[in-house]
A = this chain, B = another copy of it.
Amino acid sequence: MPASQHAAPKSDIAISQDAPKRPIVDLAREKLGIAADDLEPYGRYKAKLSLDLVDSLKDRPQGRLILVSAITPTPAGEGKTTTTVGLADALVHLGEKAMVCLREPSLGPSFGQKGGAAGGGYAQVVPMEDINLHFTGDFHAIGAAHNLLAAMIDNHIYWGNALGIDSRRVTWRRVVDMNDRALRDIVCSLGGAANGFPREAGFDITVASEVMAIFCLARDLADLKARLGEIIVASTRDRAPIRARDLGAAGAMTALLKEALAPNLVQTLEGTPAFVHGGPFANIAHGCNSVIATTTALKLADWVVTEAGFGADLGAEKFVDIKCRMTGLAPDCVVLVATVRALKMHGGAKKEDLRHENLAALEEGLSNLRRHVENVQKLGLVPVVAINRFSADTPAEVALVRDACAALGVTAVVADHWAEGGKGAVDLARAVVAAAESGRSRMTLLYPDDMPLIEKIRTVAREIYRAKDIALDAPVAEQLAAYQAAGFGRLPVCIAKTQYSFTTNHEIKGAPADHIVHVREVRLAAGAGFVVAICGDIMTMPGLPRLPAAVGIDVGPDGRLTGLF
């Protein structure tokens, strides 16, 4: 996230701390018609909706769903979350009843790189410091449920291993919500017989947990428990899968998650209601907020603006092929966020030169935007391009982007919500309303359920990444065939690859084609309900940088937090 889009900014945390906020109970009543009894407040500005209320909304009519996605990310920053927030605020300026649905940020990375994940400038969800830290404890609950299952595996082996778990084939790792590279690869159960059987193990960051993906895809508590039970954690020596339910873990894991499953209500700086709930990785998982939050928001508001992780090749594709496939949801319009700066980087400009006008680089970089536009259209959806304004953008640059989009028959609108809040995105909101109400979006899944797994991966690679083909080493192909044979062939695929390129090489920007996507590994997420195809180095446990943000974080004598964002 860019620290600032314009000169002389006030820090995000200062804007958030200084903002007048409505008590969440009042906001829920006035804007959503929710009674205080249906809320579980967490402090004055955060609340969970009761799951009973969520259930009771099932038969209500449904609002329109707007998916915010983006071009391929660059170090210049795109501002997808700010655009999601700003667009919802802008819809309210137009007199519409709108809500935002965002992912919850992970706590650990806040102590690595400076910068939160609750929007920025005047397009934020608040209270941002709470949201970026413990919030309502959902991720802690997910971590506890994950680690309970891990403890039950080693405990089962310790007490006689009646299930015959092969300790070399335990695939369930542990998690912690912290950037801690020292935990990536460990040997556990050392120290003698009382501590179990030594084996290789490791930790991922909590957001990479399959429990997180399940949490975000579960329709309700019963579905959550059923999915948790399906998690495959290990195999026997003869490769029979061991599931969480074989260990009797699903009920207790559900007990740890039952409060967390209720969606978290907060507000934007302008008082628009926002659900911030769930936050799976966008590489090894599907990268969008919980199904429960999205479906509930659609019952409460006429317009729901949500985002998916990374660029549209990963985020929008997975939103459609995983989340929408499993739930019947379908966006009425896709906003593609682009910045002049980022497009110039796709055209070869260096980060340090971005403040100078460079129409040649921009023209070159527009190939990336065009590709994403086409991809969104392949999914049957109508794109609207949001040009997220930075102060160095020149009129000629903005015109060039707009003209390029017009040539594709696509509306492109400049938005300045970062500096101006919802007011700055009113034009964008108008374009989105027009696109959504046109009824031209007819979502198509990229592949049918009954396509073989290997063909599903190939289809995404060819259609979305524009690869010539995929390549799989023999063991990977065999593993995929084994999943197919074991009855998992109808699952969608979740491709984990770099977000910085259509290829698997993060340095290749723009709109490359005819590359080969090398599938290095496949993993079955039987509880979440997808097969992960890992193409390239995917880091599921980040490290801290040389000078971690933690060093600059402090709490003053007045209790005020500084240095976090």
Contacts and interface: CB of A to CB of B under 8 A. Distances in A.
Contacts of A151: 111, 178-180, 182, 544
A144 B185 CA distance: 20
A491 interface: no
B188 A186 contact: yes
A559 B221 contact: yes
Interface string A399-413: 000000000000000
A44 B50 CA distance: 12
Contacts of A254: 554-555
A553 interface: yes
A483 interface: no
Contact of A555 (B137, B221, B247): B221
Interface stretch (A189-197, A342-350, A467-475): A189-197
A194 B552 CA distance: 25
Contacts of A194: 181, 543
Given A148-B111, A546-B159, A561-B258, A154 B180 contact: yes
Contacts of A393: none
B195 A182 contact: yes
How many copies of this kind of chain does the complex include?
2
B41 A252 contact: no
A150 B555 CA distance: 20
A449 interface: no
A16 to B, nearest CB: 15
Contacts of A225: 555
A229 to B, nearest CB: 11
B557 A255 contact: no
A201 interface: yes
A189 B182 contact: yes
A201 B553 CA distance: 27
A555 B222 CA distance: 9
A357 interface: no
A203 to B, nearest CB: 9
Contact of A187 (B147, B158, B187, B196): B187
A97 interface: no
A553 to B, nearest CB: 4
A12 B258 CA distance: 20
B188 A182 contact: yes
B564 A255 contact: yes
Interface string A530-554: 0000000000000110101111111
Contacts of A191: 184-185, 202
Contact of A553 (B43, B222, B251, B563): B251
Contacts of A252: 111, 549-551, 553-554
Contacts of A182: 150-151, 154-155, 158, 188-189, 195-196, 201
A195 to B, nearest CB: 5
A542 to B, nearest CB: 10
Nearest to A259: B134
Interface in A8-33: none
Given A137-B140, A550-B249, A184 B195 contact: yes
Contacts of A222: 557
B188 A152 contact: no
A51 B147 CA distance: 32
A233 interface: no
A40 interface: yes
Contacts of A554: 251-252, 254-255
A-B residue pairs, 7 tightest by C-beta: A185-B191, A251-B554, A248-B551, A140-B140, A252-B550, A154-B182, A151-B180
Given A111-B151, A225-B555, 7 more contacts: A41-B42, A148-B550, A152-B548, A154-B181, A186-B190, A249-B550, A255-B554
7 contacts: A42-B43, A130-B259, A151-B544, A155-B180, A160-B546, A255-B554, A258-B559
